[in-house]
Structure 1
């Protein structure tokens, strides 16, 4: 088990404290806004889905400078069965956003944030979240004070980069397979459509 193989905890690599996001009221949303509100729903698929995210007013955004996202931030859902522990890495400098109160922001130093993101997605880490969460039913939470104490692999930055590159290579191959499957499905649909028309 990782706890017996490393003495390092997430807190050992934090650039700053893990912080909870900002709450919002309905009047703070702005359909014409240019900045996003990153909610748990927007990271449920392990990435920030800006297409689904709501936008906020400029005044709300300006009033929350310490609750904004930056490149390589990791946003973690802190509440709710099926969502708790899910993470997204901010990989686009173009996205200006405030992260929601039911999420937390993790900023790392001296640790590859992409490697950390992949680690946070592992069954092992998700099991740690599951065993450390508090509450009952769908009203469960995990807090920054708990997350910061969870173990993290003690691996050199060079080795982290090597692992990240291997994972990216595998996911690129998977995307190619997915693309081919989609093309074949479209071809099958065309054949069936032509046959019935």
Structure 2
């Protein structure tokens, strides 16, 4: 934001003030935006789209009959990513999205990001932090062109100029209708879209390849361990989606009931864990730890702090996002030794749908702590922490998160005593054991797959950026 990155003093004559007196609206750095808006080659959105409508003031549920989109589902490249899936039991017909509608975030960290409703999301509804509009019947404009322009630099700069509020910014229907877009004929719009789509198609192909490499990592690990598992890209876990997504019936005999009275604990899919313990040498997670498994502490953040604090959002299930991590003071760090992490510690996200079950390894020597939603697993020298992290991410590891989590209605968690009961391959020599040398070899092979996935993901980001820049070149006025 301009106000956060620069110190300015400037004045404006009274005839320039219009109906806005705020700092950003008249900022000198936005002069190119003002010239664009005054050009004869642009038109206001009010002449192109229907009046924006606000979404429903409801909270999405893990299950329901109507898909529910909110700001968290809108991505910065204009796509919709329906994770975590949320639903409503029902809604009025007029609140349903239709193919061709445009959805834009009006507040929150994705403020101003727009997405086109495709056939995939026809019949969904949307939350109150979004606005919905569509192209007017008599407007000679492409909804794809309008959506892309809103996400372009000039579109986003206009939103920066027009938004209102302090602390928590928002943009309302009138402000959206005041956005200006290039007044190109429909043929030129379609030519621009076709050019950009060629670049985006490459990004989508590369992304699928990257996803393939990531999903193949669990196949590599289980194959190396000679553990049969037919990989299924459609496999789902209740603790990730909040829904069973199938109707099942099974029974449990009284003498088989142990530990807890909860149907997921006895799900037939856990027979895979029984076969694993029957056919292979295993150890409980706590038995190979050098310290008790514990959670971190709720941080007291300090923008000028010297110590990194890691949260579940920083665990990416393949790497740790240190760049986005917040900070705490050295005093806070020293006062909470149990939350401190060391190189080689396995960090396990232990709360919340979607986040629960993410596993990463702390790989730095710098001091750091974790918050209260992450469990710290510190294993002995007979185990490669990366090998164990890969195992916990595999199907056999994720099944154990499925079995041992507690809670409902979105407030789910995995308690340290239950994480301690997880079973992992036992270290040793002989049939059924996995030596440290074998762990190192398998971990290295899995790491190669992940590195290739990261390389492809870097290319994906570059292609999306190329598509965005090409669109902006073609729409420069």
**TM class by smaller structure:** 0.7 to 0.9
Question: 1:16 maps to what in 2?
Answer: 291
Question: 2:312 maps to what in 1?
Answer: 40
Quote the Cα distance in structure 2 between the aligned partners of 1:79 and 1:145.
Answer: 14
TM-score, length of structure 1 as denominator length = 0.86
Quote the Cα distance in structure 1 between the aligned partners of 2:459 and 2:313.
Answer: 29
Q: Which runs of 5+ in 2 are unaligned?
A: 1-274, 427-433
Question: 2:31 maps to what in 1?
Answer: none
Question: 1:101 maps to what in 2?
Answer: 372
Question: Is the contact made by 2:294 and 2:338 (CA closer than 8 Å) also made in structure 1?
Answer: no
Quote the Cα distance in structure 2 between the aligned partners of 1:166 and 1:10.
Answer: 23
List, as ranges, runs of 4+ consecutive aligned residues in structure 1 with deviation greater than 4 Å.
179-197
Distance 1:44 1:193, change over 3 A: closer
Question: Is the contact made by 1:14 and 1:106 (CA closer than 8 Å) also made in structure 2?
Answer: yes
Quote the Cα distance in structure 2 between the aligned partners of 1:36 and 1:22.
Answer: 13
Q: Greater relative contact order (Cα 8 A, min sep 6): structure 1 or 2? A: 1
**Count of residues paired in the alignment:** 193
SS of 1:8 mapped into structure 2 = strand
Distance 1:41 1:179, change over 3 A: closer
Quote the Cα distance in structure 2 between the aligned partners of 1:180 and 1:51.
Answer: 19
Question: Is the contact made by 2:318 and 2:450 (CA closer than 8 Å) also made in structure 1?
Answer: no
Quote the Cα distance in structure 2 between the aligned partners of 1:133 and 1:37.
Answer: 24
Question: 1:92 maps to what in 2?
Answer: 364
SS of 2:402 mapped into structure 1 = helix
Which of structures 1 and 2 has the bigger CA Rg? 2
Question: 1:123 maps to what in 2?
Answer: 395
How many Å apart are 1:123 and its aligned residue? 2.4
Tell me, yes or no, if structure 1 residue 138 matches structure 2 residue 410: yes
Quote the Cα distance in structure 1 between the aligned partners of 2:313 and 2:466.
Answer: 33
Distance 1:40 1:159, change over 3 A: same
Question: Is the contact made by 1:78 and 1:104 (CA closer than 8 Å) also made in structure 2?
Answer: yes
How many Å apart are 1:6 and its aligned residue? 2.6
Greater shift, 175-184 or 148-157, is seen at 175-184
Quote the Cα distance in structure 2 between the aligned partners of 1:186 and 1:89.
Answer: 30
How many Å apart are 1:177 and its aligned residue? 3.5
TM-score, length of structure 2 as denominator length = 0.38
Distance 1:49 1:185, change over 3 A: closer
Quote the Cα distance in structure 2 between the aligned partners of 1:99 and 1:166.
Answer: 29
Quote the Cα distance in structure 2 between the aligned partners of 1:62 and 1:86.
Answer: 27
SS of 2:353 mapped into structure 1 = coil
SS of 1:152 mapped into structure 2 = strand
How many Å apart are 1:141 and its aligned residue? 1.5
Alignment of 1:136-175 (within 5 A): 136-154=408-426, 155-175=434-454
Distance 1:174 1:38, change over 3 A: closer
Greater shift, 185-194 or 128-137, is seen at 185-194
SS of 1:115 mapped into structure 2 = helix
Q: CA RMSD in A?
A: 2.2
Tell me, yes or no, if structure 1 residue 113 matches structure 2 residue 385: yes
Quote the Cα distance in structure 1 between the aligned partners of 2:321 and 2:470.
Answer: 33
Question: Is the contact made by 2:296 and 2:338 (CA closer than 8 Å) also made in structure 1?
Answer: no
Quote the Cα distance in structure 1 between the aligned partners of 2:325 and 2:458.
Answer: 26
How many Å apart are 1:125 and its aligned residue? 0.9
SS of 2:403 mapped into structure 1 = helix
Quote the Cα distance in structure 2 between the aligned partners of 1:66 and 1:174.
Answer: 34
